[in-house]
Amino acid sequence: MQSTGASRALHGASERTLELNEEDTAPMLHFDKCLLLLVRSGSDIPRACWEAGEFLAFRARFPTSHEEHHPEFVGIWVDPLVVDSPPELLGRTSAYGHRAFRIRESFGSSGIWLLCWLDAVHGSTSADLGALRESLVLALVEHQALHQHHTTPQFAPVFDAADGLAHICLQTERLRTLFAEIIGEPLTWNRTTGSIRRVDEFEHAEASSEVDD
C-alpha cells in the first residue's frame, strides 16, 4: 500500500502541471540536466547538506574536462529505500508529457545520502528550471508509488543563492499546489562555497548585505 501523501500527490498532479506550464511563454533557456540529493531521513538532512556541499565546492575548484560548467541543484528527496537502492531510471515518458530521468553519476556516504547527476531521458528539455523541478518530483512520486514504499517521502526544493526571496517563495508555493503534503521547506545553494542553507538563514544574510551596502 502506497503512502497517503505520495498517493494524493500523484492523483491529479500531471493535470495541474500541464495547466500551470501552459502559462510559460517565450522561454529563454532549456534545461535537461540537474543535481538531486537523496537522503535517508529528515534528521540526516543537515549532515547531508554539509558533506554534499563540501564535495561540490571541492569539485568546483578542480573540474574535469568533461564536466558541465553550471550544474543546477534542484532539490533533496528524503526516502531511505531510494538511497539504499537508487534506480537507474526515475519516472516514465508518455504522450501526456511525463518525464523520465536517468542517473548518470552519483556520489554518496554510507547509505546516508547520495548526490545524483540526472539527465532527462531522450534529451527532453524544460522551458525553465521550475518546470524541470516539477517533472522530477512527479517522476520521484511515480517511482515511490510503483514500488509501494511504506514511507512518506519529502521533497525540499533547492534554489540558487542568487535567486531572490520572492522567486523562491513563488516556486515553492507552486510545488505545494501540485504536490500537497510532500513539499518541505526550501533551501538555497551557493555554487561557489557549496553552502546549502535554510531560506531563513538566506533571508538573514540577504538583509545583512543590504544593511552593509
Read off the pLDDT of residues 20-38 as tens digits, 9 standing for 90 and up. 444 443 344 566 788 999 9
127 Cβ neighbours under 8 A, 6+ residues apart: 21, 24, 27, 29, 30
| pTM assigned to the model | 0.77
Residue 158 pLDDT greater than 90, yes or no: yes
Q: Is the pLDDT of residue 177 over 80?
A: yes
pLDDT at 131: 87
Assigned C-alpha cell, 18: 500541464
4 in Cβ contact with 152 (< 8 Å): yes
pLDDT value of position 170? 94
Q: Please tell me the predicted confidence (pLDDT) of residue 24.
A: 42
Average pLDDT over residues 37-62: 91
- Work out the average pLDDT over 54-62: 85
- The tens digit of pLDDT for each residue in 130-142 reads 888 998 998 888 8
Per the DSSP assignment, residues forming a β-bridge with 39 are 78, 113
Cβ contact 116:38 at 8 Å: yes
